[in-house]
Amino acid sequence: MNTLSTSTLAALEEMLQNTARSAPPDFLPIQLIGGSAGTQPIGHLNPEFIAFLQESLEKHPIPLISIGNDQMSLELARPRELSQSLYQLADTMRSAGFISGWRNEDFAWLDQNGHQFFRLERAAFRTFGFRSMATHINGFTQANTLWLGRRSETKSTDPGKLDNIAAGGITADETPWVCASRELWEEAGVPEKIAENIQPIGRIHMRRPIAGRGFHDELLFIYDLALSDHFAPSNHDGEVSGFIEVSLAEAAARILADEFTSDAAFVTADFILRRNK
């Protein structure tokens, strides 16, 4: 499988036109209220969680947070104060079994100017539909092949699915570049001297509902990295079960066969289309 048909390229292009879906109409909007921006939607709540949260917040109110029939409201406050209230809410959801895969690692919610309004356990971001950020790196060779990682079967999200050579969430105290370099070493054993050659490409806004969990809203920062034909990735953090090196045509076939995580599928499709212009 060394050539890409016109129909395959068209299927990838069509897929990339649907990266950002609207939240389903029965998802409850989460509004941030106050400040110069007035009221703005920053998340969406799965209808499966609404009744529990309404009852819980009525019995045990949490500062800065309220919920009605048409929206959940977060009052703008100092980032530390709002973060503390959201952590209380997330702990309540976790205790009730609505949040799994707790990582003891914070993501940050940033506005369009890059200002941090709050930070929260990363596992809770999808539960509330808050916008997070991640880096994805396309590792390619001069022979026009791609290195792909297969996620460990023990991962809480997308176990066993194909992924980019390295990818991961940007924590509250990281930049996209720092995250990319860290993930390249932890997931694929790429040393810093090679990782510093990553090429920033752009970003993809990924939005989709996840059954039983919430709403996935994430900015994917994309990098390309040229690798020597003699380089072979090796995992260091236990999150990748192995790697495969494939042609672009095989990568496209695996995307269309739904073997990738959704995020990695979009990032890899974008790479393939850029290489076939």
Structure confidence at residue 1 (pLDDT): 43
Structure confidence at residue 10 (pLDDT): 97
Confidence of residue 175 (pLDDT cuts 50, 70, 90): very high
Structure confidence at residue 277 (pLDDT): 82
Look-up: residue for tokens 């036109």? 17
Could you give the percent of the chain with pLDDT greater than 70? 98
Closest among 240, 230, 238, 2 to 137, alpha carbons compared = 240
Confidence of residue 154 (pLDDT cuts 50, 70, 90): confident
The Cα–Cα gap between 115 and 215 comes to 22
pLDDT value at 167 more than 70: yes
* pLDDT tens sequence across 243-258: 999 999 999 999 999 9
Its pTM stands at 0.93
Structure confidence at residue 82 (pLDDT): 98
Look-up: residue for tokens 């090429």? 199
Q: Which of 7-11, 29-33, 73-77, 154-158 has the lowest mean pLDDT?
A: 154-158
The Cα–Cα gap between 134 and 222 comes to 9
* pLDDT tens sequence across 102-143: 999 999 999 988 999 999 999 999 999 999 999 999 999 999
* pLDDT tens sequence across 35-67: 766 688 999 999 999 999 999 999 999 999 999
Structure confidence at residue 3 (pLDDT): 78
> In 10 A of CB 54, how many CB atoms?
15
Domains within the chain, CATH numbers bracketed: 6-19+132-275 (3.90.79.10), 28-125 (3.30.750.160)
Structure confidence at residue 2 (pLDDT): 58
pLDDT value at 271 more than 50: yes
Task: Characterise 160 by phi-psi region: left (phi > 0), alpha (psi -120 to 50), beta (else).
Answer: left
